[in-house]
Amino acid sequence: MRQSQLFTRTRREAPKDEEAKNAQLLIRAGFVHKELAGVYTYLPLGLKTLTNINRIIREEMNAIGGQEIVMTALQDKQVWEKTDRWDDAKVDNWFKTEFKSGGETGLGITHEEPITRMMSEHIASYRDLPVYAYQFQTKFRNELRAKSGIMRGKEFLMKDLYSFSKDEEEHQAFFAKAREAYLKVFQRCGIGAETYVTFASGGIFSAFSEEFQTLSDAGEDTIYVDEEKRLAVNKEVMTDENLATLGLSREKLVEKKAIEAGNIFSLGTRFSEPLGLTFMDEKGENKPVVMGSYGIGPTRLMGIIAEALSDEKGLVWPEEVAPFTYHLVSLAGSDGDLQKIADELYADLVSEGKTVLYDDRDARAGEKFADADLIGLPHRIVVGKEALASGKLEVVNRRTGEVSMVLKEELFK
């Protein structure tokens, strides 16, 4: 798209009420707008980025058999009472309100309860299993303290997948596939090298849950990393007994700060039993379904990427995540010939199916370069006097800063 048409503006300075690097950069570059503490609007560039992250996650969830749905934000308290997760004394971050017609509701903090109840309409026999359903849905959590920019909000997007299996064996097979799918997501989002499968507190039906922790100074968690095995242990479960269970030795572990990018849980029958989600097995016996839940926060992931890959000049987006692949910067000014070359190049790139942000604004070179660095698209193509003189284009890699002069034809290869 033409940058002159983009309604958002970049800023030189970050607002003083943001300290987190991700929010400072994303606001300065015009990706997000803060509406309230911990509540952010996604602007055109931010939404494109988020959509790309969602696409990556969606592809990987579909690849392991996930079927996409969307559940409601408004919750039926009765189903939550059955699992004892409605009482404010048990779960303290509900946003609750009342229906005018009477009765109470709350905005969904997660969706194990409603999906488990709903599945009882669709699962009756072992022939119906396994089932994997997921959604991208806005969660609401009444956090006492929002912090860390878009990484810990009160309203945020979550991809949550729920698995329904006939027994523990079938569950474990899927759990392993989900782990691999998650690792692919983080790889494609450019933070694969910094992200570790991390053992964390699990709950009632499993010794551990598995978190995906991305190393970051902005992280809220302390983890202990075994670099060789590419595994880590969350500080919250760091005991000698657990290390023995996991086959990790204390000497090889290094303490790091990290941020949780995803978390997968084995739920056993924690939800299927109280909510009556059972199936008839091959022997005609009624059994509770074995469940798992698998969460990634795409908005948080966007914040993590912004945090982890940015530099002093601004954001640095990996190819698959970037809102546009190319930033075409025209330095034509009032030079009609140069202008024409830039316009043609833009049209050609678009017709080739490339995504391009075309800086056609009447602005000085310095401002355009600074903005391009801040926005952080992977490749910057500069059309200026040098391009006209040599017949070549200047292509700059945002991440490495590497500059190459290429002929137009080479660019399209």
Q: What tokens were used for 408?
A: 């137009």
Q: CA 341, CA 330: separation in Å to the nearest integer? A: 9
Is the Cβ of residue 257 or residue 287 nearer to RNA in the bound state? Answer: 257
Which amino acid is present at 344? E
Is the Cβ of residue 63 or residue 391 nearer to RNA in the bound state? Answer: 391
Q: Could you give the string, one character per residue 104-123, with x where binding to RNA holds by CB under 7 A and - elsewhere?
A: -----xx-x-----------
Using rule CB under 7 A, residue 148 touches RNA? yes
For RNA, the binding residues in 234-253 under the rule CB under 7 A are none
Using rule CB under 7 A, residue 394 touches RNA? yes
Q: How far is the CB of 236 from RNA (least distance, A)?
A: 8
Contacts with RNA by CB under 7 A: the residue count is 59
Using rule CB under 7 A, residue 391 touches RNA? no
Residue partners of 218: CB distance under 8 A and separation at least 6: 20, 21, 22, 148, 151, 257, 259, 307
Is the Cβ of residue 18 or residue 167 nearer to RNA in the bound state? Answer: 18
Q: Which residue in 213, 196, 207 sits closest to 151, CA to CA?
A: 213
Say whether the peptide bond before residue 130 is cis (omega within 30 degrees of 0).
yes
Using rule CB under 7 A, residue 275 touches RNA? no
Q: How far is the CB of 322 from RNA (least distance, A)?
A: 18
Is the Cβ of residue 10 or residue 272 nearer to RNA in the bound state? Answer: 10
Among the listed ranges 68-76, 96-104, 146-154, 175-183, the one in contact with RNA (CB under 7 A) is: 146-154
Q: CA 209, CA 86: separation in Å to the nearest integer? A: 23
Q: How far is the CB of 327 from RNA (least distance, A)?
A: 11
Q: Could you give the string, one character per residue 13-52, with x where binding to RNA holds by CB under 7 A and - elsewhere?
A: xxxxxxxx-------------x-xxx--------------
Of the candidates 386, 399, 406, 408, which one interacts with RNA according to CB under 7 A? 386
Q: How far is the CB of 230 from RNA (least distance, A)?
A: 22
Is the Cβ of residue 91 or residue 280 nearer to RNA in the bound state? Answer: 91
Q: How far is the CB of 202 from RNA (least distance, A)?
A: 8
Q: CA 46, CA 412: separation in Å to the nearest integer? A: 27
Q: How far is the CB of 365 from RNA (least distance, A)?
A: 3
Among the listed ranges 61-69, 172-180, 238-246, 362-370, the one in contact with RNA (CB under 7 A) is: 362-370
Is the Cβ of residue 184 or residue 313 nearer to RNA in the bound state? Answer: 313
Is the Cβ of residue 12 or residue 283 nearer to RNA in the bound state? Answer: 12
Is the Cβ of residue 24 or residue 165 nearer to RNA in the bound state? Answer: 24
Q: CA 207, CA 200: separation in Å to the nearest integer? A: 9
For RNA, the binding residues in 161-200 under the rule CB under 7 A are none
Q: How far is the CB of 53 from RNA (least distance, A)?
A: 20
Of the candidates 81, 87, 367, 410, which one interacts with RNA according to CB under 7 A? 367
Do residues 383 and 338 lie in contact, with contact meaning Cβ atoms separated by under 8 Å? yes
Of the candidates 143, 168, 281, 348, which one interacts with RNA according to CB under 7 A? 143
Query: Residues in the site for RNA, rule: CB under 7 A?
Result: 9-20, 34, 36-38, 85, 91-93, 109-110, 112, 141, 143-148, 152, 201, 203, 209, 220-221, 263, 265, 313, 331, 333-334, 364-367, 369-371, 373-374, 382-387, 394, 396
